[in-house]
């Protein structure tokens, strides 16, 4: 019979918008810089938290200078999600800050397209190791300077110099407690990723 060996025509798929692109982003930085706060403020789903109360046992180990108000600490990760328009959904993984949990960072970094390194402007050195981690692995990142108590005593450029960051790494002043501010930091990261992809394609 004519045409019997032809494959049946594919059923017409209902017109549905393409599924959004899913992208994994890490929120990193030192102990108490506002990582859990940022994932919580920006996530459109109730964030998964793995916080435990700080206990007396950690007193000698965890440096609470400047963040005396901190009561809990992330022991595995924070997880949240935010959609950027219809085409992009970011899955956010907040890393644990204390050095004794750093063995998890390599696993968390698998498949991550980029990172936000949060810096507490009063203790920038607490985020040096995070910056180093992403630089060494070639994972693109932006720096979010979390102004505790809404204060930003230094302009972004001064912080870039203090952290010895190259020109292409964006430095943004932010407030991790504010959804709009945290979202702006993530959008800056996406822009930076797009710029990097565009210049790689052009070369
Ligand atoms: N005043 C103020 N407190 C903040 C800000 N960001 C975080 N915090 C507080 O600082 C503490 C440490 O924040 P957290 O998100 O747990 O830090 P993490 O260790 O990086 O996850 C918590 O008590 C937060 O409520 C901020 O921008 N301003
Ligand atoms: Mg945390």
Tens digit of pLDDT for each residue in 94-148? 988 766 667 788 888 999 999 999 999 889 998 999 999 999 999 999 999 999 8
Ligand 1, atom 13, residue with closest C-alpha = 34
Cβ-contact 113, 169 below 8 angstroms: no
Cβ-contact 67, 32 below 8 angstroms: yes
Ligand 1, atom 3, residue with closest C-alpha = 148
The per-residue DSSP string of 23-64 comes to EEEEEEESTTSSHHHHHHHH-SSPPB--EEE--GGGTTTS--
Domain boundaries, the chain: 21-202
**Which of the two residues, 33 and 96, has the higher pLDDT score?**
33
Please tell me the distance from the alpha carbon of residue 131 to that of residue 52, in angstroms, as a whole number.
25
| CATH 3.40.50.300 at 21-202, yes or no | yes
Q: Which of 64, 202, 55 minimizes the C-alpha distance to 120?
A: 64
Average model confidence (pLDDT) for the chain?
84
Q: What distances in angstroms separate CA 157 from CA 56, 99, 144, 145, 199, one per listed residue?
A: 39, 28, 12, 11, 23
The pTM of the whole model exceeds 0.85: no
pLDDT at 91 over 90: yes
pLDDT score of 3: 47
Tell me the CA–centroid distance for residue 34 and ligand 1, in Å. Answer: 4
User: Which residues surround ligand 1 with Cβ inside 6 Å?
Assistant: 29, 31-37, 67, 69-70, 74, 97, 146, 148-149, 175-177
């Amino acid at each position: 019979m004519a045409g019997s060996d032809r494959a049946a025509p594919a059923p017409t798929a209902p017109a549905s918008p393409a599924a959004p692109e899913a992208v994994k982003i890490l929120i990193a930085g030192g102990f108490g810089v506002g990582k859990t706060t940022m994932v919580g403020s920006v996530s459109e789903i109730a964030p998964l938290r793995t916080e435990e109360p700080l206990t007396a046992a950690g007193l000698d180990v965890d440096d609470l200078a400047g963040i005396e108000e901190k009561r809990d600490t992330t022991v595995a990760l924070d997880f949240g999600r935010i959609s950027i328009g219809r085409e992009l959904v970011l899955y956010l993984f907040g890393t644990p800050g204390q050095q004794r949990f750093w063995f998890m960072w390599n696993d968390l970094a698998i498949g991550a397209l980029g990172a936000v390194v949060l810096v507490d402007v009063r203790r920038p050195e607490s985020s040096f190791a995070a910056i180093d981690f992403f630089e060494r692995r070639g994972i693109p990142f932006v720096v979010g300077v979390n102004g505790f108590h809404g204060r930003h005593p230094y302009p972004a450029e001064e912080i870039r110099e203090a952290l010895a960051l190259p020109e292409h790494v964006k430095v943004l002043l932010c407030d991790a407690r504010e959804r709009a501010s945290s979202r702006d930091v993530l959008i800056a990261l996406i822009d930076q990723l797009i710029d990097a992809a565009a210049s790689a394609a052009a070369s």
